[in-house]
Amino acid sequence: QVQLVESGGGVVQPGRSLRLSCAAAGFTFSNYAMHWVRQAPGKGLEWVSLISDDGSGKYYADSVQGRFTISRDNSKNALYLQMNSLRPEDTAVYYCARGQQWLIKNWGQGALVTVSS
């Protein structure tokens, strides 16, 4: 059974940094691409970033390019999202998701990030 558990969310001031983590279980983590997707309160889904199974390929939405960095540690079955220079518009629930190549098949329950002074 695929399990994805996000952590590291919270309240942060504009311009500051935050790192989200996602603990994966129930599958061979190193065989799968992983995604981050976010959803602002009351809004739709926004794809944020994708990392390939071995970490060699990384892709970002224009809205976070240059500010966010996706990474993974296959020895720890862990996915990360380093978020720098945070803005109020980055306020959202951030979902970790497992990909079959680029298709998202499984989702975590999400972690809320609030950017506010």
Residues near other proteins, by CB under 8 A: 35, 44-47, 50, 59-62, 95, 101-110
Going by C-alpha positions, the residue among 100, 87, 95, 96 that lies closest to residue 33 is: 100
H helix and E strand count, the chain: 0, 11
Q: How far is the CB of 8 from other proteins (least distance, A)?
A: 17
Q: How far is the CB of 83 from other proteins (least distance, A)?
A: 17
Q: How far is the CB of 101 from other proteins (least distance, A)?
A: 8
Q: Which is nearer to other proteins, 11 or 45 (CB)?
A: 45
Contacts of 60 (CB under 8 A, 6+ apart): 48, 49, 68, 70
